[in-house]
Every structure is written in C-alpha cells, then in structure tokens.
C-alpha cells in the first residue's frame, strides 16, 4: 500500500481549542488536497507547513490523521 500524500490547500494555528485538545495548544490544522483530488482535514506534526507544501500521513490517533511536511 502506498503512503498517503498530498498538498496543503490551507492551514491555521489553533489557540482556542475544544476542551479535548486544550493541552495541545497551539497546534496546526490543515486541509490537505490528496493525490486523488479529495480533501481531508488533519493535524500537522513537527515543522509548520504552508500552503502548497507537500505532506504525507505520519500516523492516525483516535481517528485523527496527522500529516507532516515531506523532506525535499
């Protein structure tokens, strides 16, 4: 199975989260345009991403996808 990859369509940093994520702030969310053209909302791990950056799925925790920036 190939690794899930895509491009950052848009992003934001969350400072006022839902109660379940209050210990994680600040954290980055992004909408990722996948290779098949579909979009998904995901958390970002590690280095902050910008619109147009290439990302890949790093892990899934509690049904939340975590993407990280691909190394160039």
Burial of 56: CB neighbours in 10 Å, binned 0-12, 13-18, 19+: middle
Write down the pTM of the prediction.
0.89
pLDDT along the chain (72 residues), means of 10: 87 95 95 97 96 97 94 74
**Domain count of the fold of the chain:** 1
pLDDT the model gives residue 51: 98
Give the CATH number for residue 60. 2.40.50.840
Expressed as residue numbers, the domain containing 63 is 5-69
pLDDT the model gives residue 71: 81
pLDDT the model gives residue 65: 96
- Strand pairing report for 64-69 and 54-61: antiparallel
User: Helix (H, G, I), strand (E, B), or coil: what is residue 4?
Assistant: coil
pLDDT the model gives residue 60: 95
Say if CB 33 and CB 39 are below 8 A apart: yes
User: Helix (H, G, I), strand (E, B), or coil: what is residue 50?
Assistant: coil
pLDDT the model gives residue 2: 60
């Amino acid at each position: 199975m190939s690794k899930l990859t895509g491009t950052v369509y848009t992003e934001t940093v969350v400072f006022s989260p839902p109660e379940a994520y209050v210990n994680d702030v600040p954290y980055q969310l992004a909408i990722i345009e996948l290779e098949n053209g579909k979009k998904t909302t995901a958390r970002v791990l590690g280095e902050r991403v910008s619109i147009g950056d290439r990302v890949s799925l790093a892990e899934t925790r509690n049904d939340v996808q975590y993407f990280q920036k691909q190394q160039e």
